[in-house]
Amino acid sequence: MQVHAISWLRTGAGVSLAALALAGCATVPAAPSTASAPVAAPVSALAPAGEDQVVADLLSRMSLERKIAQLIQPQINSFTVEDMERYRFGSYLNGGNGGPNGNEFAPAADWLALADAMYDASVRPLPGGEPVVATMWGTDAVHGHSNIVGATLFPHNIALGATGDADLVRRIGAATAAEIEVTGIDWNFSPTVAVAQDDRWGRTYESYSEDPQLVARLGAALVEGLQGTPGSADFLGDGRVIATAKHFFADGGTEQGVDQGDVNGDIEELISLHAVPYPAAIAAGVETIMASFNSINGVKMHGNRELLTGVLRERMGFDGLVVGDWNAHGQIAGCEIANCPQALLAGLDIYMVPDDWKALMDNLLAQVRDGTIPMARVDEAVGRVLRVKYRAGLLGPAAPRPSERGVAGRFDLLASPQHRALAREAVAKSQVVLANDGVLPLRAGARVLVAGTAADDVGQAAGGWTLEWQGGRADQLPRSRFPNATSIWEGLRDAVAAGGGSATLSADGTFTSRPDVAVVVFGERPYAEFAGDQQDLVLRDEEGLTLLRRFREQGIPTVAVFLSGRPMWVNRELNAANAFVASWLPGSEGAGVADVLTGAVPATGRLSFSWPAACEGRPVNGPDGALFPLGHGHSLSGTAPLARLSEECSALASNSNAALVFGSGRLGQGVTAFAAPLAASGDGELLPQMRGDMSAAGVTARGYDRDAQEDARQIVMRGGSRFGLRQAQDSGGAWRISYEVVTRPTAPVSLQVGEGAAATTLDLTSHFAHAEGKGWREMLITDACAPGLGSRLAFTTQADVTFRISRVRREQVPADTPCAF
């Protein structure tokens, strides 16, 4: 393998390049290293012969319009094949809720057909002999090709970190690349090499570890798996795709774990922790790096020239392209989504601009022509894009259509037996036994009760970035969406039967024949990005706790299987269980969990994150404050009982998330959204989780970007319809609604607050008419205008109306607080 030369900024506890990029399975380190960040020499190991000449020739013959198009990356839901032919975008992406023809669940053949159509449009001859440059398609295949129905769903990165096995991760990368190429896609926005330091962050599960050296080793392995070995004939060959190391940099270090937040501290100290994985990825040949949403000491990364150019380019020697994240350039001070030369000047090469691509293109063209952006910088950025395409075999007349490449169209490779076996191996190796008083392994011949709604829910086991951006439980992603999967229940059923025993599924834990042991599967519901941010580390879904305590009272031994994207405060559950297994987010192969519980496979998983002793959520990265330290995990060769733990938790009383009805693009716990005709009684049809685009009973809810990707919803109501929200339990307090009116009503619009005969109906017609086009506003509904309030509110309309909501919450206000609209 050819690699960049690596040097270290200063001597100390550094590790060798071989340890960073090439090591295989190794024990998880006992504590994070404090080594300084490495610097790669600016010597490319990837540049094929003739690359410079090809790139220079293209740049000399491309028009300014075609050059700017190479820097624009829209999403497939916001442009057409005809747009591609007209504008010749350098790349495009599917968002987490995007799919061919607007169908996120489209069959794999439709994805391949769209790839061909876009490619063909991008290479049709141009007037005057101007050279054509093939487009490329990027996707977030972060735990397998997880946008595709029927693909293999590997465990998320936090689980792979618990394996400590770089060879396993490399093989997963290769399998993922093959499944991506099956559908004609060129580019994977993976791996995430965040060094997560605060587990309250909603993307903790995308991080391999809190330890930068482990992140570096596993991240480099995934890059090699996706792209192949640099300098070899295999590199970016058949069955390989372009990889992306993300998000540069320090995305895992934000204050209080707030997604897209600020990271504060001495820049060299931050580099020595959060930048460590990048030289390893560069050495492994990574072609692209994605800039991060977060700020460093108040400066947004997309506009941070010191880091994007000074550190990444000049100190680390990266010679691939830097791509932006979803509209993140619009967060730079002085920028808008459609107007941001600052990002290009700072070192960004491709703008990820899902919807506002036309206005951004026009502004960039004008800014080059008026001298705001030097032509040399445009050529530099376009040249980087062309180099990556050249290395990936996308330039020149010999470049094949997507359907003619490698394994494209080999739909039998999606969830092939070999790939599913690999995923099952990864699941088994990632299981971490935190405690066991001897109930594990499950005894051959035992009568096993499997309880908890998560036991037979593949969507919950797979987590976020699964078919939809936020993923979903069975109410949103039913079993039929996972034709090539085994749930944890199905895996246990088969494994127990193979051992001569019997297994029974009972979601609510009831039984007619007393079991010998109960396996309770429970945990976090799926989420992605900011939707998973928490103010503490309390698990508030108490289904698992209720079941564990009930079985303990009945004298039935229990095994807790905890599904989560991070370590959490689960002292109560640990106290109630005889054995406790951190199962993370295992994906589509639940049989791997059963392999460990039955003892068919050794329990070798070890924590790659410190497990907190307290619930409040203060960062724990090392032994101080840890209930279980980095590297903790038991085999099943003996017992590992756990002394009773404190169940004191101040955050339980505050229940900081209880009053959220809708926010960060998702419904609060125990909240349902519904739609119905005005004439209907009851709530009508549910809008499960109100994520993505969905319609029912004359109401359409679509994702909308207010401050972040799809953190709001646009509600389109037809005349004669009703749309509402209901809490399962009334949290009390006034209703505060952040809303924006897009089109005023031409007939009455009302808000019903409360239930049945006790409900209050408020006329919103004049308020909505006044608010049209005036931006975001706050509506406060108190006892002053809606006595009794209640747990339900519903908008009703006699004519079509469109409005948006970004946050709905319940809050305590003084008794005399008036309503406001």
* Dist CA 166 CA 544 (whole Å): 33
Helical segments of 62-146, H only: 64-70, 81-87, 108-122
* Dist CA 588 CA 579 (whole Å): 23
- Flag whether 26 is in a domain: no
SS3 52: helix
Domain count, the chain: 3
- Tens of pLDDT along 110-150? 999 999 999 999 999 999 999 999 999 999 999 999 999 99
Q: Which of 151-165, 644-658, 692-706, 725-739 has the lowest mean pLDDT?
A: 644-658
Cis peptide before 249 (omega within 30 of 0): yes
- Tens of pLDDT along 48-72? 668 999 999 999 999 999 999 999 9
DSSP single-letter state for residue 20? I
pLDDT above 60 (res 26) = no
Instruction: State residue 684's pLDDT score.
Output: 86
SS3 737: strand
Q: Tokens for 310?
A: 């000074």
Hey, which residues are catalytic here? 325, 529
Which amino acid belongs to residue 619? P
Which amino acid belongs to residue 439? V
Do 482 and 516 lie in a common domain?
Answer: yes
* Dist CA 800 CA 590 (whole Å): 46
Per-residue pLDDT band for 422 (boundaries 50, 70, 90) equals: very high
- Flag whether 471 is in a domain: yes
Instruction: State residue 658's pLDDT score.
Output: 53
DSSP single-letter state for residue 309? I
- Flag whether 801 is in a domain: yes
Per-residue pLDDT band for 815 (boundaries 50, 70, 90) equals: confident
* Dist CA 485 CA 478 (whole Å): 12
- Tens of pLDDT along 677-734? 998 888 888 887 676 678 899 999 998 999 888 899 999 999 999 999 999 888 889 9
* Dist CA 131 CA 777 (whole Å): 50
- Tens of pLDDT along 211-220? 999 999 999 9
Region 749-764: what's the mean pLDDT?
A: 92
Place of tokens 């922790």: 273
Instruction: State residue 577's pLDDT score.
Output: 98
Q: What are the φ and ψ backbone dihedral angles of 283, each rounded to 5 degrees?
A: -60, -30
Do 452 and 382 lie in a common domain?
Answer: no
- Flag whether 435 is in a domain: yes
* Dist CA 174 CA 172 (whole Å): 5
Instruction: State residue 118's pLDDT score.
Output: 98
Of the residues 622, 651, 680, which one is the last residue of a structural domain? 651
Region 430-437: what's the mean pLDDT?
A: 98
CB atoms within 10 A of CB 299: 17
- Flag whether 425 is in a domain: no
- Flag whether 33 is in a domain: no
- Which of 464, 512, 457 lies closest to 485, judged by CA? 457
Per-residue pLDDT band for 397 (boundaries 50, 70, 90) equals: confident
* CB-based burial label for 127 (10 Å; 0-12, 13-18, 19+): exposed
Phi-psi region of 567 (alpha: psi -120 to 50; beta: other; left: phi over 0): beta
C-alpha distance from residue 749 to each of 113, 723, 725 (Å): 44, 11, 16
- Flag whether 424 is in a domain: no
Do 515 and 598 lie in a common domain?
Answer: yes
SS3 747: coil
- Helix (H), strand (E) at residue 450: strand 447-451
Task: Check if the beta carbon of residue 771 is closer than 8 Å to that of residue 804.
Answer: no
pLDDT above 60 (res 8) = no
Do 402 and 528 lie in a common domain?
Answer: no
Do 494 and 610 lie in a common domain?
Answer: yes
Residue 80, domain CATH: 3.20.20.300
Instruction: State residue 29's pLDDT score.
Output: 39
* Dist CA 728 CA 419 (whole Å): 41
Residue 668, domain CATH: 2.60.120.430
Region 163-168: what's the mean pLDDT?
A: 99
Q: Tokens for 613?
A: 């002793």
Residue 385 CA from chain centroid, whole number: 25
Region 317-326: what's the mean pLDDT?
A: 98
- Which of 322, 372, 374, 368 lies closest to 348, judged by CA? 322
Contacts (Cβ under 8 Å, ≥6 apart) of 501 = 442, 443, 444, 445, 446, 447, 448
* Dist CA 260 CA 255 (whole Å): 10
Do 404 and 472 lie in a common domain?
Answer: no
Region 423-451: what's the mean pLDDT?
A: 98
- Tens of pLDDT along 221-271? 999 999 999 999 999 999 999 999 999 999 999 999 999 999 999 999 999
Q: Tokens for 103?
A: 């169908």
Do 522 and 377 lie in a common domain?
Answer: no
Per-residue pLDDT band for 47 (boundaries 50, 70, 90) equals: low
Do 367 and 237 lie in a common domain?
Answer: yes
CA within 13 Å, CB half, 361: 22
Bridge partners of 694, per DSSP, are: 701
Of the residues 651, 681, 704, which one is the last residue of a structural domain? 651
Region 671-679: what's the mean pLDDT?
A: 92
Instruction: State residue 40's pLDDT score.
Output: 47
Instruction: State residue 13's pLDDT score.
Output: 31
Do 204 and 309 lie in a common domain?
Answer: yes
Per-residue pLDDT band for 553 (boundaries 50, 70, 90) equals: very high
Do 629 and 693 lie in a common domain?
Answer: no
Do 325 and 469 lie in a common domain?
Answer: no
Do 103 and 242 lie in a common domain?
Answer: yes
- Tens of pLDDT along 80-109? 999 999 999 999 999 999 999 999 999 999
Task: Check if the beta carbon of residue 741 is closer than 8 Å to that of residue 768.
Answer: yes
Of the residues 412, 441, 463, which one is the last residue of a structural domain? 412
CA within 13 Å, CB half, 388: 33
* Dist CA 347 CA 720 (whole Å): 52
DSSP single-letter state for residue 8? E
Q: Which of 502-506, 521-525, 705-709, 764-768 has the lowest mean pLDDT?
A: 705-709
Range of the domain at 678: 660-811
- Flag whether 21 is in a domain: no
Which amino acid belongs to residue 223? V
What percent of the chain lies above the pLDDT cut of 70?
Answer: 93
Largest pairwise CA distance in the chain? 83
Residue 441, domain CATH: 3.40.50.1700
